[in-house]
Amino acid sequence: MNSHCNLDCPICFAGSGHHTQGFSLTLDQVEAGLDAFVRAEGQPEVVMLSGGEPTIHPLILEFIVMAKAKGIGMVTLNTNGIRLARDRRFGEELAELEPVIYLQFDGLEEQTHLRLRGRDLRAEKEAALQRCAELGLAVALVAAIERGVNDHEVGAIVRHAISQPAVRSVVFQPVTHAGRHLPFDPMQRLTNPDVITSIVEQLPDWFRPADFFPVPCCFPSCRSVTYVLAEGETVVPIPRLLALEDYLDYVTNRVLPDPSIRGALEKLWSASAVPGSTTVAGQLDCIACGLDSPNVLDQLADRTLMIVVQDFQDAYTLNVRQLMKCCVVEIVPDGRLIPFCAYNSVGYREQVWESLSGGHVPAMVPNATALQDLLQPTQFGFKTIGEPRREQRDATNIGQGL
């Protein structure tokens, strides 16, 4: 929607912020992009409005109305939550349109906020969550996780999500090493299995590794998911009750628990369960697990939490075969649908940004520790490639007539 933001996060893979050379899409440009998406997909299930920070775009409410009018089933709004926390009227207008709020939420500790976002945003996050609960807006908490910064907080984030009435899902994303991000060693990158291991270690009474399933889009290393039923301190991973792998095709791109899972859970408690079927076996499991079954059934939507672990590719992990199966695309106003990981890693973002803003946007390169001598800062905070140091050039045979 825009390249501007009311934050300048040290880990912004989009390179967004308060810089002056930006763009804000017009109504016509957004319409052209949505039309291209509908042409390609037929009946798209979900679109995410993202930025920069989309809530500061003056036409954001019109964009949501337009996406819904084009028959897109679910509109999600990717936000840092600051405007939601501070602007009561905006929240009320948003609530009438019922987008799903995809809320940046990296942890509960001050240091996590300072290192990943450059500011302590804990009060804003709590205020945004409270507003969403009051307004009946469903929320997905989205945590960027970096090794040694906030990977010790994943259990606390799940606990917090369960305690929040508005929250329906938690999405953990290992930090994408594209655009702006902290210096990192590619050999020490955080992976989906690392995140799952941390969840299990930090919440051993609730989870084991087998509760998480890789989703078949686009690759097993891309996305894993689990669902839980939660009632107070009693938390039961749904894969222990249902054969979740039977539903994975439906949960591929979801940011909220899938209705088919709800249907299967209702069957689990239903008197019509066929003797000997997995539903009856599941029913027994569930009685044993201590959930108050009729009560859970009444409030199934409120008690089901989806946990997603999503690793986006960067320049070090980019795999063309994965891109060919990509199910998360960036919609460009000129009608192109570009796989998200390619958009961030091989120059598309800079190309589109340049064409929409009219000014030069340098190539973003990874801020890897081994490359530090070759990197130069840009006005956008991300790094670009500089001239190699003279002694490095002299150390080669090139041009020396040998």
Q: Which residue, chain included where needed, has tokens 């938390």? A: 235
If one asks whether residue 339 binds ligand SF4 (CB under 6 A), the answer comes out as yes
Residue closer to ligand SF4 by CB (options 1, 265) is 1
The least distance separating ligand SF4 from the CB of residue 122, rounded to whole angstroms, comes to 15
If one asks whether residue 51 binds ligand SF4 (CB under 6 A), the answer comes out as yes
Query: How does DSSP classify residue 389?
Result: P
Question: Which one of 194-202, 226-234, 263-271, 324-332 is the stretch in contact with ligand SF4 (CB under 6 A)?
Answer: 324-332
The DSSP result for 330-369, as a single string, is EE-TTS-EEEHHHHHHSSHHHHHHHHHHSS--PPPB--BG
Instruction: Give residue 241's Cα distance to chain centre.
Output: 27
If one asks whether residue 9 binds ligand SF4 (CB under 6 A), the answer comes out as yes
| Separation of alpha carbons 168 and 227, rounded Å | 10
For residue 121, what are its two tokens? 């945003």
For residue 385, what are its two tokens? 């490639």
If one asks whether residue 313 binds ligand SF4 (CB under 6 A), the answer comes out as yes
The least distance separating ligand SF4 from the CB of residue 393, rounded to whole angstroms, comes to 35
Q: Which of residues 79-108 bind ligand SF4 (CB under 6 A)?
A: 80, 104
The least distance separating ligand SF4 from the CB of residue 118, rounded to whole angstroms, comes to 8
Residue closer to ligand SF4 by CB (options 323, 331) is 323
Residue closer to ligand SF4 by CB (options 19, 267) is 19
Decide if 122 contacts 153 (C-beta within 8 A): no
The correct pick among 133, 182, 328, 337 for binding ligand SF4 (CB under 6 A) is 328
If one asks whether residue 112 binds ligand SF4 (CB under 6 A), the answer comes out as no
Residue closer to ligand SF4 by CB (options 55, 198) is 55
Per-residue buried b or exposed e for 243-269, using 16+ beta carbons within 10 Å of the residue's own CB: ebeebbeebbbbbbbbeebeebbebbb
The least distance separating ligand SF4 from the CB of residue 63, rounded to whole angstroms, comes to 16
For residue 71, what are its two tokens? 């028959």
The correct pick among 34, 218, 225, 265 for binding ligand SF4 (CB under 6 A) is 218
The least distance separating ligand SF4 from the CB of residue 317, rounded to whole angstroms, comes to 9
If one asks whether residue 182 binds ligand SF4 (CB under 6 A), the answer comes out as no
Residue closer to ligand SF4 by CB (options 104, 198) is 104
Specify the long-range contacts of residues 200-204, CB closer than 8 Å, at least 24 apart.
201/155, 202/152, 202/154, 202/155, 202/156, 203/155, 203/158, 203/159, 203/235
The least distance separating ligand SF4 from the CB of residue 214, rounded to whole angstroms, comes to 12
If one asks whether residue 341 binds ligand SF4 (CB under 6 A), the answer comes out as yes
User: Comparing C-alpha atoms, which of 347, 323, 22 is closest to residue 178?
Assistant: 347
If one asks whether residue 323 binds ligand SF4 (CB under 6 A), the answer comes out as yes
Instruction: Name residue 239's amino acid.
Output: P
If one asks whether residue 331 binds ligand SF4 (CB under 6 A), the answer comes out as no
Question: Which one of 10-18, 24-32, 287-295, 361-369 is the stretch in contact with ligand SF4 (CB under 6 A)?
Answer: 10-18
Residue closer to ligand SF4 by CB (options 65, 328) is 328
Decide if 378 contacts 365 (C-beta within 8 A): no
Residue closer to ligand SF4 by CB (options 217, 368) is 217
Residue 337, beta-bridge partner list: 331
| Separation of alpha carbons 160 and 334, rounded Å | 41
The correct pick among 16, 76, 173, 345 for binding ligand SF4 (CB under 6 A) is 16
Residue 101, beta-bridge partner list: 77, 139
Decide if 170 contacts 308 (C-beta within 8 A): yes
For residue 242, what are its two tokens? 């249902």
The correct pick among 217, 225, 256, 364 for binding ligand SF4 (CB under 6 A) is 217
If one asks whether residue 128 binds ligand SF4 (CB under 6 A), the answer comes out as no
Binding interface with ligand SF4 (CB under 6 A): 5, 7-9, 12, 14, 16-17, 51-53, 80, 104, 217-218, 222, 312-313, 322-323, 326-328, 339-341
